[in-house]
């Protein structure tokens, strides 16, 4: 992460934490290995995911698309450690988390994944600063460190002058910027975004996508589930699901400036 000129301690600590995780750009951050997720409904078995394999490397920007019923929501829940595969492995930071107990999965969610939701999920009674401190509050780390880090990240997303405001005093785009900054508070291995621009108008959507682009040089890894092809086109790659399987993986060559091309899995 770039360090602000005033050299605040929290920023320095953030840089140290990022450096301690830093490896080559081909480090695998998240990986599905022949992942199946089946649900039994009466006498029927619903194969929501049926043998999905994929990799997300450090610094990747991947979008996941598919029609309703393709398996996007199931994949999102598995990526976020909100569910476990019926069969196969899900590796986060090289470790298979698919068979961890609830407490261990909660620890992975709290420390290694930064969540961004369509509906922002901010606490309306808290200020921007307090909302940003929530992830560290649950780790017992609220204090000078969390405050300085929250101030830095608020500046990073363009809301340094809104720290004392509450969510309802902000526009939708500003609320989503708070949510993005909050997702970065734990220095996660990757950001997991669920329709992150779904509640925004097209101009505000473009601003949020520009912000994601702006965060990329900081080494941020992004996985976003979306139904919007305009949003998907802004990513490096798009993984298409169909009937619980990977239909194709598309490389968005030169991003929005060139036609997408398919690549092998």
Which residues make beta-bridge pairs with 246? 241
Q: What is residue 262's predicted lDDT score, i.e. its pLDDT?
A: 54
CATH fold label, 59-76+101-263: Rossmann fold (3.40.50)
For 63, 142, 180, 195, the CA distances from 120, given in Å and listed in that order, are: 19, 22, 9, 10
Cα three-residue angle 85-90-95, rounded to 5 degrees: 135
The model's confidence at residue 258, banded by pLDDT at 50, 70 and 90, is very low
Taking the model in full, what pTM does it have?
Answer: 0.84
Share of the chain above pLDDT 90, in %: 78
d(CA 149, CA 109): 20
3-state secondary structure of 240: strand
pLDDT, the chain, mean = 87
3-state secondary structure of 4: coil
For 137, 216, 225, 263, the CA distances from 260, given in Å and listed in that order, are: 42, 20, 18, 10
Domain limits of the chain?
59-76+101-263
Q: What is residue 145's predicted lDDT score, i.e. its pLDDT?
A: 82
d(CA 245, CA 241): 5
Q: What is residue 6's predicted lDDT score, i.e. its pLDDT?
A: 42
Residue-wise pLDDT tens digits, 143-175: 888 899 999 999 999 999 999 999 999 999 999
- Least confident range of 71-85, 134-148, 155-169, 192-206: 134-148
The answer to whether 166 and 125 have CB atoms below 8 angstroms apart is yes
d(CA 91, CA 235): 22
Q: What is residue 254's predicted lDDT score, i.e. its pLDDT?
A: 53
The answer to whether 223 and 62 have CB atoms below 8 angstroms apart is yes
Q: What are phi and psi for residue 250, nearest 5 degrees?
A: -110, 130
The model's confidence at residue 98, banded by pLDDT at 50, 70 and 90, is very high
Residue 17 has pLDDT above 50, yes or no: no
For 50, 89, 171, 243, the CA distances from 96, given in Å and listed in that order, are: 19, 6, 40, 25
Q: What is residue 260's predicted lDDT score, i.e. its pLDDT?
A: 46
Instruction: Enumerate residues 6+ apart whose C-beta is below 8 A from 4.
Output: 11, 152, 155
């Amino acid at each position: 992460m770039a360090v602000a000129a005033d050299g605040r301690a929290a920023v320095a600590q953030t840089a140290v934490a990022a450096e301690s995780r830093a490896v080559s750009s081909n480090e695998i951050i998240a990986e599905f290995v022949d992942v199946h997720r089946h649900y039994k409904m009466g006498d029927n078995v619903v194969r929501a995911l049926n043998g999905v394999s994929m990799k997300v490397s450090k610094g990747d920007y991947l979008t996941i698309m598919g029609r309703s019923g393709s398996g996007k929501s199931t994949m999102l829940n598995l990526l976020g450690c909100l569910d476990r595969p019926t069969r196969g492995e899900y590796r986060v930071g090289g470790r298979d988390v698919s068979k961890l107990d609830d407490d261990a999965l909660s620890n992975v969610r709290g420390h290694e994944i930064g969540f961004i939701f369509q509906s922002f999920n901010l606490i309306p009674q808290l200020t921007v600063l307090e909302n940003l401190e929530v992830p560290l509050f649950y780790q017992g780390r609220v204090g000078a460190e969390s405050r300085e880090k929250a101030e830095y990240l608020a500046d990073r997303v363009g809301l340094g002058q809104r720290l004392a405001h509450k969510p309802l005093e902000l526009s939708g785009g500003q609320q989503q910027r708070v949510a993005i900054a909050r997702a970065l508070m734990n220095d996660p291995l990757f950001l997991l975004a669920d329709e992150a621009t779904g509640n925004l108008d097209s101009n505000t959507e473009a601003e949020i996508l520009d912000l994601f682009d702006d965060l990329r040089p900081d080494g941020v890894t992004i996985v976003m589930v979306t139904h919007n092809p305009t949003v998907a086109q802004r990513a490096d790659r798009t993984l298409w699901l169909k009937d619980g399987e990977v239909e194709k993986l598309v490389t968005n060559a030169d991003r929005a400036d060139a036609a997408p091309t398919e690549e092998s899995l």
